[in-house]
Amino acid sequence: MAHKFTIEQNKAGEYIARFKHNSEVIFWTEGYSSKAAARNAIASILKNGPEAPVEEI
């Protein structure tokens, strides 16, 4: 699969979820204090993202 989510720890010790396509980071979340919270962020993106509107500015 060319795209995936990863959970990584940043320099501040927080966990962030990154979305990668062909190893390139497309976006990342804010920092969370636990891996479980980062997993919840991924679950929310997967649940709500497909129906998100596209806004052209």
Residue whose structure tokens are 């497309």: 26
Rounded mean pLDDT for each run of 10 residues along the chain, 57 residues in total: 91 96 93 97 92 91
CA–CA distance, 3 with 12 (Å, rounded to integer) = 26
**Residue 39 located in a structural domain:** yes
CATH of the domain at 44: 3.30.160.160
**Residue 12 located in a structural domain:** yes
Domain containing residue 41: 3-51
pLDDT of residue 56: 97
Please tell me the pTM assigned to this model.
0.83
**Residue 24 located in a structural domain:** yes
Tokens of 50: 């497909």
pLDDT of residue 30: 96
pLDDT of residue 1: 66
CA distances, 56 to each of 27, 47, 48, 52, 53 (Å): 18, 22, 19, 13, 10
Tokens of 30: 């804010």
Domain count, the chain: 1
| 3-state SS, residue 49 | helix
